[in-house]
Amino acid sequence: MARHNTTEILEALASEIGEEVYMDIAKWHLRLSDAHLHTVVAEQLYPMLTSNSLDEDKVLQVLRNIPIKIGGGKREIPLLDLLPMQCQVNLMDILEKYQRGM
């Protein structure tokens, strides 16, 4: 994981987030990659990794600030509200792994 190319690291991070983290909607699991949200999440969380400021509360705040439109855009729900607890744990594990590798 000792890659130095920011683009490669960001793409790998987004890919892993996209495969391991999903939204639970009426017991349907929609992976962030299928919802085209994995890159957005990775891009917003990556600066925490590079500045060694990874903190669970900050990560949750980022997820809280990503709006997910539902009902054709009639309403918005924070991404955090759609992620099961296990996915939040998985996301933190992924972020910690990448931070250790930097």
Which tens digits make up the pLDDT trace of 27-86? 999 999 999 999 999 999 999 999 989 999 999 999 999 999 999 999 999 999 999 999
Domain encompassing residue 48: 6-100
pTM score: 0.91
Alpha-carbon distance of 50 to 27, in angstroms, equals: 35
Are the C-beta atoms of residues 32 and 38 closer than 8 Å to each other? yes
Looking at the domain assignment, is residue 1 inside a domain? Answer: no
Structure tokens at 88: 């939040």
Looking at the domain assignment, is residue 74 inside a domain? Answer: yes
Looking at the domain assignment, is residue 36 inside a domain? Answer: yes
pLDDT digits (tens, 9 = 90+) for 9-23: 999 999 999 999 999
Alpha-carbon distance of 102 to 100, in angstroms, equals: 6
Closest CA to 63 of 86, 37, 98: 37
Looking at the domain assignment, is residue 61 inside a domain? Answer: yes
pLDDT at residue number 4: 58
Looking at the domain assignment, is residue 41 inside a domain? Answer: yes
Q: Which residue has the higher pLDDT, 101 or 82?
A: 82
Which of the four pLDDT bands, split at 50, 70 and 90, describes residue 6? confident
pLDDT at 2 exceeding the cut of 80: no
Looking at the domain assignment, is residue 55 inside a domain? Answer: yes
Q: Please list, in sequence order, all residues whose beta carbon lies within 8 angstroms of the beta carbon of residue 20, skipping any fewer than 6 positions away.
A: 87, 90, 91, 94
Looking at the domain assignment, is residue 43 inside a domain? Answer: yes
Q: Report the domain count for the chain.
A: 1
Looking at the domain assignment, is residue 67 inside a domain? Answer: yes
